[in-house]
Amino acid sequence: MKNLITKLRQEHYLDAEEYKALLLCRDADALKYLQEQAREVALGQFGNRVFIRGLIEISNRCRNNCYYCGIRKENQDVVRYELTQEDILDCCREGYTLGFRTFVLQGGETPATKDAWTVETISSIRQEFPDCAITLSLGEKSREAYERFFQAGANRYLLRHETHNEEHYRHLHPAGMSIKQRLQCLTWLKEIGYQTGTGIMVGSPGQSIGHLVEDILFIEQFHPEMIGIGPFIPHHDTPFATALPGSIEMTLKLLSIFRLMHPEVLLPSTTALATLSPDGRERGILAGANVVMPNLSPRDQREKYTLYDNKASLGAEAAEGLQQLEEKLAAIGYRISKERGDYSYVQC
Ligand code: SAM
């Protein structure tokens, strides 16, 4: 197994059977080696710096009904909210003072009628914070909308493909949503010039090792600038309420694989990982991740953006808990970087 891991580090590529063997591997020594290799590569690429992104959850209104998601349209038990432009700018101001130089605007998917508002919001952030990166995570839009957002000043876009397998995609989403459209959106985003992120939930209901291999192969050829992966966690008001959460070990394994595959990729240690385990965030960093996304949303709205049960948004997961995050990272030999942290960051 170590040979495969060394090969992945050197050649950045394995074939489907080799990825499968790696995903099935339970040998503790080999898995330790995988993490060490990924960590070394991340350290070589970024030093011991961890980039921070301020996550602003702009609205939990969503027109979609993804079976796994707590803010799905049909969930009547969510108190819906929408931040105003001034709320969002206030979050950015607070974040800027704390040292954030990337703001991530995430929210449920809204109809095209809301696009002009989004353009205005991006423009006002761009105007007030010319030195900051603006990342969007607002789901599927028309090519024209993506272009308008980009022209208004957005730099990056996160759109997880969730699963590359068509049948599995249908298992996770109702009719009307398709992997084909998701992939079309990802292609547009790249063509327009966004630093583009994709990714999956690990352990989503119905996911097999074969599906994960398909995801790895897709990510390898798509070559995103960011890869967002975190464990699936059930939400009590969804059709997957009784499903089991994804595995931390598999998530860490995938983080390491992606780091070895794409050494320079921006790879968050996600909130879902920190939610499942108190030291999940640190374990993600030690497996090769190099980004964390503390929550900058207004404190009184955070609990309404419940994608899954017990979602962490306080302490080191909160922007105001940066000191705590700093200490946790220091304990494992890392430090927060307050740089913008764009893709292709070259170590000085
Ligand atoms: N609407 C946008 C979109 O579709 O990309 C952004 C918001 S969406 C809620 C952000 C991500 O949350 C999804 O891509 C999904 O992977 C993740 N997510 C949703 N429900 C989840 C759950 N139950 N467990 C873990 N992650 C979840």
Tens of each residue's pLDDT in the chain, 348 residues? 999 999 999 999 999 999 999 999 999 999 999 999 999 999 999 999 999 999 999 999 999 999 999 999 999 999 999 999 999 999 999 999 999 999 999 999 999 999 999 999 999 999 999 999 999 999 999 999 999 999 999 999 999 999 999 999 999 999 999 999 999 999 999 999 999 999 999 999 999 999 999 999 999 999 999 999 999 999 999 999 999 999 999 999 999 999 999 999 999 999 999 999 999 999 999 999 999 999 999 988 998 999 999 888 777 778 778 999 999 999 999 999 999 999 985 443
CA of 247 to the centre of ligand 1 (A): 17
Sign of CA dihedral 257, 261, 262, 263: positive
Predicted complex ipTM: 0.99
End-to-end distance of the chain based on CA atoms, in angstroms?
34
What CA–CA distance (Å, rounded) separates 57 from 27?
A: 39
Annotated binding residue at 348? Answer: no
Whether the CB of 308 sits within 6 Å of ligand 1 = yes
Q: Which atom of ligand 1 is nearest to the CA of 159?
A: 5
Question: Cα 287 to chain center, whole Å?
Answer: 16
What CA–CA distance (Å, rounded) separates 72 from 66?
A: 6
CA of 269 to the centre of ligand 1 (A): 15
Q: Which atom of ligand 1 is nearest to the CA of 160?
A: 14
Per the DSSP assignment, residues forming a β-bridge with 54 are 103
CA of 70 to the centre of ligand 1 (A): 9
Other beta carbons within 10 angstroms of residue 89's beta carbon come to 19
Q: Which three-class secondary structure state does DSSP give residue 158?
A: strand
Say if residue 127 is exposed, middle or buried (CB neighbours under 10 Å; 0-12, 13-18, 19+): exposed
Q: Which atom of ligand 1 is nearest to the CA of 71?
A: 9
Q: What residue's CA is closest to ligand 1, atom 26?
A: 232
Other beta carbons within 10 angstroms of residue 306's beta carbon come to 20
What CA–CA distance (Å, rounded) separates 119 from 54?
A: 19
Q: What residue's CA is closest to ligand 1, atom 4?
A: 139
Probe target for ligand 1 pocket from 53, 69, 157, with the most ligand atoms within 8 Å of CB: 69
Tell which residue, 192, 238, 199, has the closest CA to residue 218: 199
Tokens of 297: 């949303």
pTM (two decimals): 0.96
| Superfamily of domain 14-337 in the CATH hierarchy | Aldolase class I (3.20.20.70)
CA of 297 to the centre of ligand 1 (A): 16
Q: Which atom of ligand 1 is nearest to the CA of 233?
A: 24
Query: Which helix (H) or strand (E) is 171 found in, with range?
Result: helix 166-172
Q: What is the largest CA-CA distance in the chain?
A: 54
